[in-house]
Amino acid sequence: MTKPEERGRVAGFAGLFTLPFYFLTAEVLLANLDFSSTALFGVLISLGVLTVLLVVPEKPLSRLKNNAATSYERKTVVLYSIPWILFSLVNATLAFTVSQSVAEQVPPPFYMTLLGFQVAGVAFGALAGGLIADIFGRRPSLMLGLTLYGISSALLGLTQNRVAFLFSYATNGLSWGILFILYVFVVWGDLATEENVGKTYSIGLAIYYSALCVGSLFPSLSHIPLIAVALANCLLIFLLNVPVIAAPELLHSDTSEKIRLGLHINKVKKIEKKSKNQG
Which CATH number does the domain housing residue 83 bear? 1.20.1250.20
pLDDT tens sequence across 159-192: 778 888 999 999 999 998 999 889 888 888 888 7
In the chain, DSSP finds a helix count (H) and a strand count (E) of 12, 0
82-137 tens-digit pLDDT: 999 988 888 888 787 788 788 888 898 998 899 889 989 998 999 999 899 888 88
How many structural domains comprise the chain? 1
In a domain, 277, yes or no: no
> Model confidence over 188-213: pLDDT tens digits?
888 876 666 667 777 777 788 778 77
User: What span, in angstroms and rounded, lies between the C-alpha atoms of 13 and 108?
Assistant: 31
Residue 42 has pLDDT above 60, yes or no: no
For residues 62 and 195, the answer to whether their CB atoms sit within 8 Å is yes
Q: Is a pLDDT exceeding 50 seen at residue 154?
A: yes
Q: Tell me, rounded to whole angstroms, the distance of Cα 54 from its chain centroid.
A: 25
Determine, yes or no, domain membership for 46: no
Mean pLDDT is lowest, of 7-21, 37-51, 166-180, 232-246, for: 37-51
Phi, psi of 83 (to 5 degrees): -60, -40
Domain that holds residue 120: 4-26+71-246+255-270
CA pair distance 146, 158, nearest whole angstrom? 18
8 Å CB contact between 141 and 129: yes
Say yes or no to pLDDT of 29 above 70. Answer: no
H or E element, residue 46: helix 35-55
**pLDDT at res. 65:** 42
Greater pLDDT, 214 or 150: 150
